Amino acid sequence: MRIFITGGSGFVGGHLIEVLRGEHEVLAMARSDRSVAAVEALGAIAVRTALGQVTPEQLDGVDAIVHAAAFVEEYGTREQFRTVNVEGTRQLLEAAKAAGVKRFIHIGTEAAFFTGPDLVMIDESTPYPSGQRFLYSETKAEAERLVLAANGPGFHTVSLRPRLIWGPRDESVMGNIRDRALKNEWVWLDGGRHHTSTCHVRNLVAAVELALTRGEGGRAYFIADDGERTLREFFDRLLATQGVTLAQRSIPGWLARGASVVVEGTWRGLSLSGTPPLTRFAAFMFSATVTVDTARARQELGYAPVLTVEQGLVELAAG
């Protein structure tokens, strides 16, 4: 297959290139000279363009698109989230259809359903929330709806919903926690007792490989590692692979949630740049249980994790 990947210079996209290049011709969107160098080093053909600007000509001969690019941040403006997550996806779908691309795989997220309360073993029958509290969740849900609605004769679309992606070269979740710990800023919420599903990046890549030829069009699939664990158990062990010990101190989740609203409100009110030291998304997400049911992916994609959590942690520790 000739496959076009967005987000190729990022964490997930980089792993996709490394695996897919073995059996496919991989093209990767690159917005800058640095991105061009990064995707070419991984083995992809760089296509100099950006979300919102992809032309049908740049997709000439492409059989499938894996859309992994997104504005994945705890904090930002509505315009920032919508421009990338919604409008970028909309324009890419239009270009793909015009170019005659046959398959479109969207990397979604369980966060599209997260409004604050626990999400316990949710599956694909769970409806989208009627109201959203977080811009990331809102815009990723809207993007997914666009993707699934675009499915039709000759254009097969699916969305994969990984929960808490982790693995080598992760500078998002693991990198953020590591940096906070090294600055002595890490604090557990509710002692880290809430449960979570996780998804090693190689398990997500395996699901993408399956979705290139399997799955029903217009459907979404939750993807995760086997089992669940508490946030404390998982992050203690994850950071230990980097030689980092997380502090034991903890505050009540309700306190962090309330404080995050005040902090974000003050941040916006004063028009301060950057990300607040405490965001609503982080405070709510780290004080809630979020677990997903992968039964549909197993049945329709033939999905099964290719790596256990234990194996992934051992590999990370080994470097």
| Domains of the chain: residue spans and CATH | 2-170+198-226+292-306 (3.40.50.720)
What is the model's pLDDT at position 165? 98
What is the model's pLDDT at position 302? 98
Sequence-distant (6+) residues with CB within 8 A of 12 are 68, 107, 165, 201, 204, 205
pLDDT, one tens digit per residue, over 20-79 is 999 999 999 999 999 999 999 999 999 999 999 999 999 999 999 999 999 999 999 999
What is the model's pLDDT at position 176? 92
Cα 81 to Cα 72: distance, rounded to the nearest angstrom:
8
Provide the token pair at 97: 């259809």
Task: Give me the helix-helix angle, 231-240 and 173-182, nearest 10°.
Answer: 80
CB under 8 Å, gap of 24 or more: what pairs does 38-44 form? 38/8, 38/9, 38/14, 39/8, 39/9, 39/13, 39/14, 42/8, 42/14, 42/17, 42/18, 43/17, 43/18, 44/5, 44/8, 44/17
What is the model's pLDDT at position 303? 99
Of residues 238, 245, 240, 251, the one with CA closest to residue 192: 251
Q: What are phi and psi of 46, to 5 degrees?
A: -75, 135
Please answer whether residues 199 and 164 qualify as being in contact, where contact means their C-beta atoms are separated by less than 8 angstroms. Answer: yes
pLDDT, one tens digit per residue, over 122-135 is 999 999 999 899 99
What is the model's pLDDT at position 319? 83
Q: Which residues of the chain have pLDDT under 50?
A: none
Provide the token pair at 298: 């197993």
Cα 234 to Cα 48: distance, rounded to the nearest angstrom:
38
Cα 32 to Cα 6: distance, rounded to the nearest angstrom:
13
- If you average pLDDT over every residue of the chain, what do you get? 97
Please answer whether residues 246 and 184 qualify as being in contact, where contact means their C-beta atoms are separated by less than 8 angstroms. Answer: no
Task: Give me the helix-helix angle, 11-20 and 201-211, nearest 10°.
Answer: 60
Task: Look at residue 222 and give its three-state secondary structure.
Answer: strand
* Residues tagged active-site: 136
What is the model's pLDDT at position 74? 92
Cα 2 to Cα 47: distance, rounded to the nearest angstrom:
13
